[in-house]
């Protein structure tokens, strides 16, 4: 197999047996970062996940790469500085996955800003404090230093026609960045694969045992395959809310916080090209309304959680809370979300605190020699977390001078010429031009290879659910380790979240295209379609 061109699940299943330098359990963004960092240092790495890549919280975030503007009132400047530094790095090494976007905070006479200290809440002091804080925030970020930071009431009403005007003084603007969290995670792993890592999803670690100088991880792949024993002197458990197997699973206690997001139509809330930050909710949080892929993401919540770890869902109270808080600031009436998702934050458990008070900073613990567990951290800081983990195992001497700060993520390096080529390719296929920007945003420089599939088989130029090409299904199996229909409709694309029937009308077509690629007969295809329906139901879709 040429790791530069293929990433088929079966190929990596065939390479799973044997000895490695490092075994990573968990294919979220932290595990992905660890796998890439270690592989970049020349280590032989295997990374596995019991479900799909980014199947947990790493596909259920607010889709932001940010320093954390809500930490400004808390004066957690080190945390903010680190996040903005990573934002700058990712804007270069993963350019097609990082988009800058303006955020506006409306300033009201009767509302402060969540977590602001008492001295900063004075009506005359707060506007000055927030403007100075956002000036500093922009100076640390990647964004224009001369950007307009103050909006009048009239300018706010023009940008956000549903914004309530009573008590509104003005608005302040800052700039941050957003991403597709699932595809970022996937492409980080894909980059590790390009460098030689073995990466297998739908492969559960069922046991971890120490045998002297090595650890043995017993892995059970799905779909009826026999177990495999992987051996390595080092193991990293980056399983988030899930507990890894074995007797050491409880050595790093975590507390779980549920964060719920809604997907709504742009016209339902009047938020289009600029994100809106609602500065203070009834429980002391900020609320984001962020344009994303022709829709709007609304979130998030922060509540303790002790339910199902595999399929956390938004309950009616979560949805009602977000809609009610939004209604405090916007004239929107009854909003009907297209979909909702819930992600679980695995926060370091310091007994006695609430989820809101718990640190978002990561913790790395070597629970036994060669066995490291990770908790906490943010999407934006995954590279730093990964470097900390690999340093812990191998020491700083194994680190290249700049770590992975100059390692281009698979698909990075987009140019105007690529955009023109994609447009011309779609035109020659007779496919809609509006797909072009989305294709570049999903695949970057790999867009050419994906579209080549459609040129070789024109049946793959068919459009699925208005925004996706049939060729993407084949590309997903051959180059993005797709093993199930749900992998494609929930994470490689967002068909399940952006369509009102949650991809149900698309499932038969996706399955029909996928079946010959994965060797499914008619009976197996029926089973896979049933499983895809069950997966949607489990997500509350």
Helix (H, G, I), strand (E, B) or coil at 215: strand
Q: Give pTM, 2 decimals.
A: 0.94
The span from the CA of 171 to the CA of 106, in Å, is: 4
* Residues with Cβ within 8 Å of residue 45, at least 6 apart in sequence: 20, 21, 22, 23, 24, 35, 38, 39, 192, 196, 197, 198
Q: From edge to edge, which strands make up the β-sheet containing 371-375?
A: 198-200, 45-48, 22-25, 234-237, 371-375, 363-368
Q: What ranges in 198-302 are assigned the alpha helix state H?
A: 266-269
Torsion over CA of 436, 438, 444 and 447, rounded to 10 degrees?
-50
Domains in the chain: ranges and CATH: 9-58+182-251+358-398 (3.50.50.60), 83-178+255-348 (3.30.9.10), 416-538 (1.10.8.870)
User: For 103-143, how does the pLDDT look when each residue is reduced to its tens digit (9 = 90+)?
Assistant: 999 999 877 777 666 666 666 676 777 777 777 777 666 55
> What's 243's DSSP letter?
P
Helix (H, G, I), strand (E, B) or coil at 77: helix
Residue 106 and residue 425 in contact, taking contact as beta carbons nearer than 8 Å: no
Measured CA to CA in angstroms, residue 423 lies from 431, 443, 466, 484, 494 at distances of 9, 14, 16, 30, 22
Residue 137 and residue 80 in contact, taking contact as beta carbons nearer than 8 Å: yes
Q: What ranges in 396-540 are assigned the alpha helix state H?
A: 416-429, 435-443, 447-456, 471-479, 485-486, 495-498, 507-518, 522-538
Cβ atoms within 10 Å of 81's Cβ, excluding its own: 14
| pLDDT of amino acid 1 | 36
Cis bond before residue 429 (omega within 30° of 0): no
| pLDDT of amino acid 182 | 98
CA proximity to 529, closest of 477, 476, 486:
486
Say if residue 216 is exposed, middle or buried (CB neighbours under 10 Å; 0-12, 13-18, 19+).
Answer: middle
Measured CA to CA in angstroms, residue 228 lies from 17, 138, 222 at distances of 6, 50, 12
Tell how far CA 440 is from the center of its chain.
18
Measured CA to CA in angstroms, residue 103 lies from 89, 149, 288 at distances of 20, 10, 9
Q: Which long-range contacts (CB under 8 A, 24 or more apart) does 518-526 make?
A: 518/477, 518/483
Measured CA to CA in angstroms, residue 399 lies from 365, 388, 396 at distances of 20, 11, 5
Residue 414 and residue 96 in contact, taking contact as beta carbons nearer than 8 Å: yes
The span from the CA of 217 to the CA of 198, in Å, is: 14
Cβ atoms within 10 Å of 415's Cβ, excluding its own: 10
| pLDDT of amino acid 3 | 40
Taking each helix axis from N to C end, the angle separating 382-394 and 77-93, rounded to the nearest 10 degrees, works out to: 100
Residue 159 and residue 104 in contact, taking contact as beta carbons nearer than 8 Å: yes
Tell how far CA 268 is from the center of its chain.
25
Residue ranges with strand state E in 112-252: 150-151, 168-178, 198-200, 203-210, 215-221, 228-232, 234-237
Tell how far CA 253 is from the center of its chain.
24
The span from the CA of 145 to the CA of 476, in Å, is: 40
The span from the CA of 339 to the CA of 263, in Å, is: 5
Q: From edge to edge, which strands make up the β-sheet containing 203-210?
A: 18-19, 228-232, 215-221, 203-210
Could you list the pLDDT tens digit for every one of the 541 residues in the chain?
344 469 999 999 999 988 999 999 999 999 999 999 999 999 999 999 999 999 999 999 999 998 777 676 666 677 778 888 899 999 999 999 999 999 999 999 877 777 666 666 666 676 777 777 777 777 666 555 555 578 999 999 999 999 999 999 999 888 899 999 999 999 999 999 999 999 999 999 999 999 888 999 999 999 877 899 999 999 999 998 888 887 666 667 778 999 999 999 999 999 999 999 999 899 888 899 999 999 999 999 999 999 999 999 999 999 999 999 999 999 998 999 999 999 999 887 665 556 655 556 788 989 899 999 998 888 999 999 999 999 999 986 555 556 899 999 999 999 999 999 999 999 999 999 999 999 999 999 999 999 999 999 999 999 999 999 999 999 999 999 999 999 999 999 999 999 999 999 999 999 999 999 999 999 999 999 999 999 999 999 9
The span from the CA of 513 to the CA of 525, in Å, is: 10
């Amino acid at each position: 197999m040429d790791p530069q061109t293929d990433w088929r699940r079966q190929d990596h299943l065939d390479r799973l047996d044997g000895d490695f330098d490092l075994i990573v359990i968990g294919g979220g963004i932290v595990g992905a970062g660890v796998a890439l960092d270690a592989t970049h240092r020349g280590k032989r790495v295997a990374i596995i996940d019991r479900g799909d890549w980014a199947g947990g919280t790493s596909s259920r975030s607010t889709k932001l790469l940010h320093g954390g503007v809500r930490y400004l009132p808390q004066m957690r400047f080190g945390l903010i500085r680190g996040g903005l530094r990573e934002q700058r790095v990712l804007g270069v090494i993963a350019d097609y996955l990082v988009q800058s976007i303006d955020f506006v905070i409306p300033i009201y006479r009767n509302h402060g800003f969540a977590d602001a200290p008492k001295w900063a809440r004075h009506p005359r002091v707060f506007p000055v404090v927030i403007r100075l804080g956002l000036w500093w925030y922009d100076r640390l970020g990647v964004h224009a230093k001369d950007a307009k930071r103050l909006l009048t009431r009239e300018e706010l009403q023009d940008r956000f026609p549903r914004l309530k005007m009573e008590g509104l003084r003005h608005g302040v603007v800052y700039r941050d960045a957003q991403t597709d969290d699932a595809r970022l995670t996937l492409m980080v792993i894909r980059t590790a694969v390009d460098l030689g890592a073995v990466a297998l999803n739908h492969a559960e670690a069922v046991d971890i045992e120490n045998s002297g100088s090595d650890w043995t991880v017993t892995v059970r792949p799905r779909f009826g395959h026999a177990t495999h024993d992987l051996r390595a002197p080092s193991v990293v458990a980056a399983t988030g809310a899930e507990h890894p197997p074995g007797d050491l699973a409880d050595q790093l206690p975590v507390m779980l916080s549920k964060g719920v997001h809604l997907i709504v139509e742009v016209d339902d809330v009047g938020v289009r090209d600029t994100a809106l930050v609602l500065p203070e909710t009834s429980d002391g949080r900020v609320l984001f309304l962020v344009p994303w892929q022709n829709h709007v993401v609304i979130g998030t919540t922060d509540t303790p959680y002790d339910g199902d770890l595999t399929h956390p869902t938004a309950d009616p109270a979560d949805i009602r809370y977000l809609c009610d808080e939004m209604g405090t600031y916007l004239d929107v009436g009854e909003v009907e979300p297209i979909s909702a998702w819930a992600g679980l934050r695995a926060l370091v458990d310091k007994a006695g605190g609430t989820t809101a008070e718990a640190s978002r900073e990561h913790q790395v613990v070597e629970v036994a020699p060669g066995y490291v567990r990770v908790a906490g951290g943010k999407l934006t800081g995954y590279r730093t977390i990964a470097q900390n983990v690999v340093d812990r195992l191998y020491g700083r001497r194994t680190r290249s001078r700049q770590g992975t700060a100059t390692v281009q993520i698979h698909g990075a390096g987009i140019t105007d010429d690529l955009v023109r080529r994609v447009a011309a390719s779609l035109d020659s296929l007779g496919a809609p031009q509006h797909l072009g920007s989305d294709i570049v945003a999903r695949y970057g420089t790999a867009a050419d290879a994906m579209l080549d599939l459609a040129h070789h088989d024109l049946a793959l130029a068919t459009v699925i659910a208005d925004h996706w090409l049939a060729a993407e299904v084949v590309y997903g199996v051959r180059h993005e380790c797709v093993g199930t229909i749900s992998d494609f409709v929930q994470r490689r694309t967002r068909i399940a979240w952006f369509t009102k029937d949650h991809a149900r009308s698309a499932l038969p077509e996706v399955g029909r295209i996928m079946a010959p690629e994965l060797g499914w007969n008619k009976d197996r295809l029926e089973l896979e379609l049933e499983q895809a329906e069950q997966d949607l139901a489990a997500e509350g879709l």
